[in-house]
């Protein structure tokens, strides 16, 4: 008897501050070391600056500030992942890369109701296997669109 395949989704998982986050793997192009950042005047606080990568200027987003969960710190071990949604590309700060995880769709719980502002950008939450920690799965396309709107509205 053939076992029924459980639909899975692949997420790029990382840690920033106290948060464990995941974004759909199709939204991630690559991971790089955080290089020099050039601060930009009159940008929202969640835009840490811009960095050059492969001839492209990438805005660098601090998800902790964007989600009102604190502030990311750039250190020697800090990584950026190049996130993409449509034509919009941004570098996103990650303290630790946890890697790609295939998560059964049935294991993804809905985001908590009446949560904070961060909840509106969540696809759902999944318990990390073997730990008590949850991974918050971000709706990265919506997050980038919101970030872009907030940046342009200033």
Domain ranges in the chain?
A: 23-152
Dist CA 2 CA 52 (whole Å)? 50
Dist CA 2 CA 154 (whole Å)? 56
Given a contact cutoff of 8 angstroms between Cβ atoms, the answer to whether 103 and 116 are in contact is no
Q: What does the pLDDT read at residue 117?
A: 63
Given a contact cutoff of 8 angstroms between Cβ atoms, the answer to whether 98 and 14 are in contact is yes
Q: Which two tokens stand for residue 112?
A: 């908590």
Q: Is 51 helix (H, G, I), strand (E, B) or coil?
A: strand
Dist CA 111 CA 137 (whole Å)? 9
pTM of the predicted structure, to 2 decimals:
0.89
In tens, the pLDDT along 114-153 reads 666 677 899 999 986 666 789 999 999 999 999 988 887 7
* CATH code given to domain 23-152: 2.40.50.180
């Amino acid at each position: 008897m053939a076992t029924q395949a459980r639909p899975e989704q692949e997420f790029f998982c990382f840690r920033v501050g106290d948060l464990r986050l995941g974004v759909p793997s199709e939204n991630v192009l690559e991971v790089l070391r955080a290089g020099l950042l050039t601060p930009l005047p009159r940008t929202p606080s969640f835009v840490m600056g811009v960095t050059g990568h492969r001839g492209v200027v990438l805005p660098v987003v601090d998800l902790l500030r964007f989600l009102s969960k604190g502030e990311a710190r750039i250190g020697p071990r800090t990584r950026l992942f190049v996130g993409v949604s449509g034509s919009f590309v941004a570098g996103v700060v990650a303290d630790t890369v946890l890697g790609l995880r295939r998560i059964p769709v049935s294991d993804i719980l809905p985001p908590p109701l009446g949560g904070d502002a961060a909840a509106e950008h969540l696809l759902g939450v999944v318990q990390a296997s073997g730990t008590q920690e949850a991974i918050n799965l971000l709706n990265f396309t919506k997050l980038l669109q919101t970030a872009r709107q907030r940046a342009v509205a200033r």
